[in-house]
Chain A
Amino acid sequence: MTAALSLAEISKSYFGVPALTGISFDLEPGRLLGLVGQNGAGKSTLMNVLGGVVAADAGQMQLFGRPYAPRRPADAKANGIAFIHQELNLFGNLTIAENIFVADFPRRRGLVDWSSARSRAAKLLQMVGLAMPPDTLVELLSPGERQLVEVAKGLSVEPQLVIFDEPTTSLTARETTQLFALIRRLKSEGTTIVYISHNLGDVLALADDIAVLREGQLVAQGRATDFDIGKMIKLMIGRDIDALFPPRHSASPGAVLLQAQGVTRRGAVDNVSLSVRAGEIVGIFGLMGAGRTELARLIFGLDTMDSGQLALPDGVPRHRVTPQMAIAAGLAFVTEDRRQEGLLMNAPIADNLVLASLREFASGPGLVDDTASLAAAREMARRLSIEARDIAVQPAKTLSGGNQQRVVLGKWLMVDPRLIILDEPTRGIDIGARYAIYEMIDQLASAGRGLILISSEIEEVMAMSDRLLVMSEGEIVAEFQRSAWSRELILRAAFREAEAA
C-alpha cells in the first residue's frame, strides 16, 4: 500500500543549529498521526517543511507515491494538504464566507460568485458544527467559533491530508467534542490527518499512530496502543522526571496584601472582588477571553477602572492606580507576553534587570550609580542562575525562553515586591525549566510574599494554588479551596457561561 505521506531523512538547520535531524516515517492513508514534543522539539519546523514555508536542507518527501518538494505554501495547498493553525489568521473585518475563500473566491465570468461562495460556506459551517450565517463578521465570534471557521477554511479545498496544530486551545468542551467527531468523520471518509497537541490525553484518544520528537529527532514512533501518557512524557523530556510539579509548602496566610472591590472595566472585567494574603498563592483559571489578563492589568494600573476600588499592599484604597503607584506599593507584574511586554529584547540583560528598580540606584538629580546597579544585577543573575556570558552586554533576546522568564522575575525581585502577579508564567517554556520556575513560585510564597497565578493550564493552577478563582466572561464565577476542588468542578465552572450561551 502506498503511504499517504512518506518522509525520508529530512534535515533542516538554522545558522548551523540543527532543528531537524534525519526524520523518516510513513503515514498510511486514512490514519491519524499524533505528533507530540516539547516546545522547540522541531514540530513547527517539520510542519513548515511540509507546508513549503521553509525548504529542507536534505531528505525527500513523497505524497501518495509522488515526489513532493513544495517551494511555497501554495504548493502544499495545490497538493491537497490543509493546515489548520493554532494562531488565528482570520480577518475580523471580513465575514465568515469572505475569510473562508479569501485566497480563492469562486468565480463566474471573472467576477466573484457570491451566491456560490455563501452556499459553499454554509455547507462547510454545517460540517464543522458552527450554526452561524456565513455573512457574520468574524470579529463578532468567540475565540472557539473562530477556530471552527479556521477548520472550515482548511476543509474548503477538500484536502487529502489535514494537519491540525493545537486546535483545541480556545475551544469549549462542547466545541471540542464536536471537533473530535468531525475529525473522526474525516478519517472514516479516508482523509489522512496529522494532529499536533500538548494535550496528551486528546492525542491518545484520537491517534492511530504516535510520533514523538525531541531536539529535532524522532525518538519514538508506533501504534498508539503501545503508548501511555507517562511514556510519552518520558520520551519528550528524555530523562526520568518524577513529577511535573514540585511539592507545595503551604504557609499560613498573613496580612491582606490586596483587596479588590467591584473592579469593573466595561466589556472586559465585570464587578470583580477578591483578596490576597501574604504567603498565599491565588490561582485564576479561565478560558481565553475570560478577562484574566484584563483583571491583572487593572490591578497593576495599566488600564483604568470604570468603577471599583483597589487596596494595594500599602492598604490605601484607590480608584485610580498607575504602574508607578503599584510598584511603589509593592506590586510586581510578570506579563503573559515576554516579547511584547516583559523585556527590552535588544537591551542587555543587566539593563532589563534594573529597569523597575532604577530609582533605588539613583541619587540627587537622578544620577544612576552604575557600579552599584550592575553589581546588584549580577547578584540577582547569580541567585536565579541565569545562564549568560556577560549580562552587562548580552542582549536579552539571545536567552532561551526559560532564562528570559528568569530575567523578568529577577527584574521584579529587585524591587522586593510584596505581591507578585504571574500571568501564564510558563508559557512557551520547556518542562525542565518550568520545574525551576514552579520551585521559585513556591519559595516566594513560603517567604511570605503573596502571589496571583493566572493560567489556562488547569494542572498548573491545581498543583500550585492554595485557593482558586475561576473567571468566565469577565466575572469570577467560582472560588475553590485547595481541599475542595476537582478538575471536573473547575472545568464546569469555567465553561458554565459558555455552555449556557
Chain B
Amino acid sequence: MSSAQLTEQRHQQGAPAARWLKRILLSDYFVLYLTIAYFLGVAVFFPALVEPRNLSNQLANVWPLAAAAIGETFVLLIAGIDLSIGATMGFASVAGAVVMTSAADKLLLGGSPLWGTLLGETGGVLANHPAAAAVAILVMLVAGMLIGALSGFFIARFRLPAFMMTLVALMFFSSAAVWITQSQNIVNLPDSFTNLGAGDVVSVYFGEKATPEIKRRDILPLVTYPMLITTGLAVLAHLLLTRTTFGRYVYAVGINRKAAAVSGVPVGRVIVAVFAIAGLCAAVAGILYSARLEGGRPTIGGGSALLDIIGATVIGGTSLSGGKGKIAWTMVGVLFFVLLSNTLNYMRLSAFHIDMVKGAVILAAALLDVLRTRLLQRDAL
C-alpha cells in the first residue's frame, strides 16, 4: 500500500478530534476562533488587559490600522502588494496639515520648500477658514488616491512588478513628506479636525473608579468617530467586493489575469482602480492618525507600520498569491494583531523583541495558508 493511500486512510479513519481540528482549520472563521481563544487566554493570564480602560485604548488602535489593511486587502486580492501604504499615509497627513494649520514656526519649518508660498508664520492657505478641515480632508483623500493610481498605472501599463513600483513610491513619497516638513511635525490643526481622532459619540459609564487618591467616575469612549469612519469604509469595501461587477473582476484578475483578460475583464482599469482604492484607504488611515496625534507627521506610516498592515491582512487569511480574501477576515486579523501587540507590550518586551515575535506570527500565518490550501486540494481530489 502506498504512503499516499495510507495517509488517505488515516484521513478517513482519523480520530474524531483530528477531524474536528481539521474542520476548524479549514473554516472561514478560523482566525476569529483563534482570536476569541487568544482573548480568553489573555483574560486568564493577564487580567489587567481586559479592564475597560485598556480595551477602550486598544480599540482606538484598531481603527486606523484597519483602514490601511482594508486597502492592502484589495491589492493582495489581485496578487499584488502595496509597500507604499505607510508612505502614502505620511504624505497625505502632511499634505492635509499644510492646508489647514493655523500657525507655523519659522525656526522649524522655514527650510520647507513650501515656506513663503503655501506655508508661512500664519499657517497654511486656509488657516482659520471655516472650511479648512473639510478641504484638508479632501486634499488628503485625493493625494492618497492619486499616489495609488500612479503606481497602478505603471503596474498595469508597463507590467512593472507591484513590489518594485510600490517600493519606488515608498521611497519617493516618504522622502517627499520629510523634505516638505523638514522632518518636523505640522501642528496647530483646527479643532474640527482633531475632534475626528478623539471625539466620542457614545461613552460608557463604568461606575466609581476605585483609585485610592481621588474618587472619580470612569467614563470611557466606546463609539468614536474613527470607529464609525472605519466601519463605514469596511462596509463599503465589503459591498464593493461582494456585490458589484468590479468586485468579481478583482477576484478574477487575482486568480488568473490572462483568463480574465480573454473573458473581457478590463484588467488594466481594474489594477489602476485597486491601487487607487488602496491609496484612498491609506489616506483615511493617515487622517485618523493625524487627528489623533493632532499634527501632520511625515513619519506616521514609518517604522513597523507596513509590517503591521501587511501582517494583519495576511493573518486574517488573505492570500499573497491572489484571489482569496475577505474584508471580514482582514478586520479579524487586525483585531488579533492589536491584541497580540498589546500583550507583548504588557509583557514589557523591547520594541525589537516585539517585532521579532510579530514576524514569527506572520510566518506562522503564511505557513497556515499553505497548509490550508494543501488540505483543501487533497479534499478536492
Q: Which residues of A are in contact with B by a Cβ distance under 8 Å?
A: 12-17, 57, 300, 302, 323-324, 326-327, 333, 335, 340-347, 351, 355-356, 358-359, 362, 365-368, 370, 395, 397-398, 411
Contact = CB atoms under 8 A, between A and B. Distances in A.
B248 interface: yes
B27 interface: no
A15 B245 contact: no
Contact of A346 (B249, B255, B260, B264): B255
B4 A323 contact: no
B248 A355 contact: yes
A185 B261 CA distance: 49
Among A324, A342, A355, the one with the most B-chain Cβ atoms within 10 Å of its Cβ is A355
Contact of A343 (B2, B4, B259, B381): B259
Interface in B351-381: 378, 380-381
Interface string B254-265: 011011111111
B263 A411 contact: yes
Contacts of A13: 2, 4-5
A395 B266 contact: no
Contacts of A411: 263
Contacts of A351: 248, 251-252
A347 B252 contact: yes
Nearest to B8: A16
A335 B262 contact: yes
A341 B252 CA distance: 12
Contacts of A365: 244
Contact of A16 (B4, B265, B324): B4
Contacts of B260: 344, 355
B273 to A, nearest CB: 11
B242 to A, nearest CB: 9
A342 B380 contact: no
Contacts, number: 91
A57 B381 CA distance: 19
Contacts of B255: 344-347
B216 interface: no
Nearest to B266: A324
Nearest to A351: B248
Given A341-B256, A344-B323, 11 more contacts: A13-B4, A16-B5, A302-B262, A342-B262, A344-B252, A346-B323, A347-B323, A351-B251, A362-B245, A368-B244, A397-B380
B2 A57 contact: yes
B243 interface: yes
A300 B246 CA distance: 22
A359 B245 contact: yes
Interface in B213-256: 243-249, 251-252, 255-256
6 contacts: A17-B381, A344-B260, A347-B255, A351-B248, A359-B245, A362-B245
Interface of B: 1-2, 4-5, 8, 243-249, 251-252, 255-256, 258-266, 323-324, 378, 380-381
Among A333, A342, A351, A366, the one with the most B-chain Cβ atoms within 10 Å of its Cβ is A366
B381 to A, nearest CB: 5
A398 B379 CA distance: 10
B248 A358 contact: yes
Among B4, B246, B251, B259, the one with the most A-chain Cβ atoms within 10 Å of its Cβ is B259
- 3 A-B pairs closest in CB distance: A57-B2, A327-B264, A344-B255
Contact of A340 (B249, B258, B378): B258
A370 B243 CA distance: 8
Contacts of A15: 4-5, 8, 378, 381
Contacts of A397: 380
Nearest to A343: B259
Contact of A368 (B243, B256, B259, B261): B243
Contact of A324 (B8, B248, B264, B324): B264
A57 B251 CA distance: 40
B259 A302 contact: no
A471 to B, nearest CB: 21
A356 B381 contact: no
B256 A343 contact: yes
A340 B259 contact: yes
B263 to A, nearest CB: 5
B291 to A, nearest CB: 30
Nearest to A340: B258
Among A300, A365, A370, the one with the most B-chain Cβ atoms within 10 Å of its Cβ is A365
Given A16-B8, A57-B2, A368 B252 contact: no
A366 B258 CA distance: 22
A358 B270 CA distance: 15
Contacts of B246: 366
A341 B262 contact: yes
Nearest to B321: A346
A353 to B, nearest CB: 11
Nearest to B269: A324
B116 to A, nearest CB: 44
Nearest to A331: B264
A285 B259 CA distance: 24
Contacts of A342: 259, 262
A12 B4 CA distance: 10
A366 B263 contact: no
A57 B4 CA distance: 10
A324 B251 CA distance: 18
A446 to B, nearest CB: 26
A318 to B, nearest CB: 16
B380 A355 contact: no
B258 A341 contact: yes
B5 to A, nearest CB: 6
Contacts of B266: 324
A326 B264 CA distance: 8
Contacts of A333: 262
A321 B122 CA distance: 56
A302 B261 contact: yes
Given A15-B378, A355-B248, A366-B245, A323 B264 contact: yes
B271 to A, nearest CB: 15
Contact of A358 (B1, B5, B245, B381): B245
Nearest to A55: B2
Contacts of B259: 340-344
